[in-house]
Amino acid sequence: MQIGQDKVVMLHYVLRNDAGEVLDKSEADEPLAYLHGNGNLIPGLEEALVGRAAGDKLSVAVPADKAYGPHDPTLVQAVPRRAFEGADVKPGMRFHAQTEDGPRAVVVTRVQGDMVTIDGNHPLAGQNLNFEVEVAGVREPTTEELEHGHVHGPGGHGHDDDEDDFEDHED
């Protein structure tokens, strides 16, 4: 079975930045599961996976504009420390801020006096991403997975224990 719209895909991956540093990777016995074509992966990686099948291995270079987009300086702002309701705010801390566009995850990048600088960009915004990928399996989704727009069970969202009937391969 090939990867295409609304197929459940299991991936092993290693993600590196342009300097070759490992930013993320799947666990050896727990591939990432996602529902293809439903916005669960960055666009550049999803595009590269179309037509692939269990056992396929590939390297994918995803430019920033097909990953998390460019770094947006308008999402960096200084706010009064009092906005954090008495928290001992330090750089690196993460919060959810209410914005005109709804809730947004932000990270504290600087604390100076009574002002706190926060950044609402995704931590990988503005970066090219490099993936080493192995397709571990591809299957049809359940009706519930299609309705919810994401995978349930092992490697996916944990609503319940759906069957794990992926097409596996032997090395």
* Closest residue by Cα to residue 68 from 15, 121, 14: 121
Q: Is 12 in the same domain as 62?
A: yes
146 contacts: CB under 8 Å, gap ≥ 6: 6, 35
Q: Is 55 in the same domain as 89?
A: no
Per-residue model confidence (pLDDT) at position 156:
54
| Domain containing residue 115 | 73-119
Task: Give mean pLDDT, residues 141-147.
Answer: 94
**What pTM does this model have?**
0.78
Q: Is 12 in the same domain as 89?
A: no
What confidence tens digit (pLDDT) does each residue in 81-139 have? Answer: 998 887 899 999 999 888 888 888 999 999 999 999 999 999 999 999 999 999 999 99
Residue 24: which pLDDT band, with cuts at 50, 70 and 90?
very high
Q: Is 142 in the same domain as 100?
A: no
pLDDT at 159 over 70: no
Q: Is 79 in the same domain as 113?
A: yes
**CATH number of the domain that residue 63 is part of:** 3.10.50.40
Give the distance from CA 129 to its chain's centroid.
12
Q: Is 56 in the same domain as 140?
A: yes
Q: Is 131 in the same domain as 115?
A: no
Q: Is 85 in the same domain as 111?
A: yes
Per-residue model confidence (pLDDT) at position 164:
41
Q: Is 160 contained in some domain?
A: no
